[in-house]
């Protein structure tokens, strides 16, 4: 219900603040896509590959429109590669320690980072990933402190990472306007 209210209120606001109709349409389609990914990841801790393929096509079109083909493609490659290397490193260290049966983040987070890179372009994707990581770390710290203060609560062991990457990309994109 919160998503419906946000989209209902956000669409006219988006229309009022965008200078051209083509910009409004690009922002609207991008926003709807990102909200869909965000909700699916929060509810299921899953980012489907089919949705990232569609997002890559959309991200390339929108990113090329706003930043040009070269910046959009280089942002997509950089976003994918940076999180992919982190994915390999973290999953290898977790397997070496044999502490968790589920990896710190999945391959959907890797692919959505590439899609976000297509949307925001290079070098904005570096700010997006850094901002998303800081927001996610702060959120995780808050949950950790809350669980220490109230030890009888159900422990939170898995936090979806995609929403923080999306938040970082939105903040980085807006700050570059």
pLDDT digits (tens, 9 = 90+) for 119-155: 999 999 999 999 999 999 999 899 888 888 887 777 7
Nearest CA to 91 out of 99, 109, 81, 103 is that of: 103
pLDDT digits (tens, 9 = 90+) for 158-176: 789 999 999 999 999 888 7
In the structure encoding, which two tokens stand for residue 104, read together?
A: 């710190």
Nearest CA to 118 out of 167, 165, 55, 161 is that of: 55
Give the per-residue SS3 of 54-85.
HHHHHHHHHHHHHHCHHHHHHHHHHHHHHHHH
What is the chain's Cα-based Rg? Answer: 17
Contact 56, 114 (CB under 8 A): yes
Give the per-residue SS3 of 38-59.
HHHHHHHCCCCHHHHHHHHHHH
- 133-158 as b/e: b if 16+ CB within 10 A: bebbeeeeeeeeeeeeeeeeeeeeee
Domain extents in the chain: 2-175
> What is the pTM (predicted TM-score) of this model?
0.88
The rounded mean pLDDT for the chain is 87
């Amino acid at each position: 219900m919160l998503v419906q209210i946000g989209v209902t209120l956000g669409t006219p606001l988006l229309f009022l603040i965008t200078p051209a109709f083509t910009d409004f349409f690009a922002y609207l389609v991008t926003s709807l896509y990102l909200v869909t990914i965000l909700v699916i990841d929060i509810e299921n801790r899953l980012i489907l590959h089919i949705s990232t393929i569609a997002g890559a096509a959309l991200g390339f079109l929108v990113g090329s429109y706003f930043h040009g083909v070269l910046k959009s493609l280089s942002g997509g490659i950089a976003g994918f590669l940076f999180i992919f290397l982190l994915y390999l490193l973290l999953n290898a260290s977790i397997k070496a320690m044999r502490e968790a049966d589920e990896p710190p983040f999945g391959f959907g987070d890797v692919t959505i980072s590439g899609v976000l890179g297509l949307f925001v372009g290079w070098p904005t994707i570096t700010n997006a990933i850094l901002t998303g990581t800081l927001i996610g770390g702060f959120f995780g710290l808050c949950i950790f402190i809350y669980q220490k203060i109230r030890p009888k609560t159900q422990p939170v062991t898995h936090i979806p990472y995609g929403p923080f990457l999306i938040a970082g990309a939105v903040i980085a994109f807006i700050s570059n306007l």
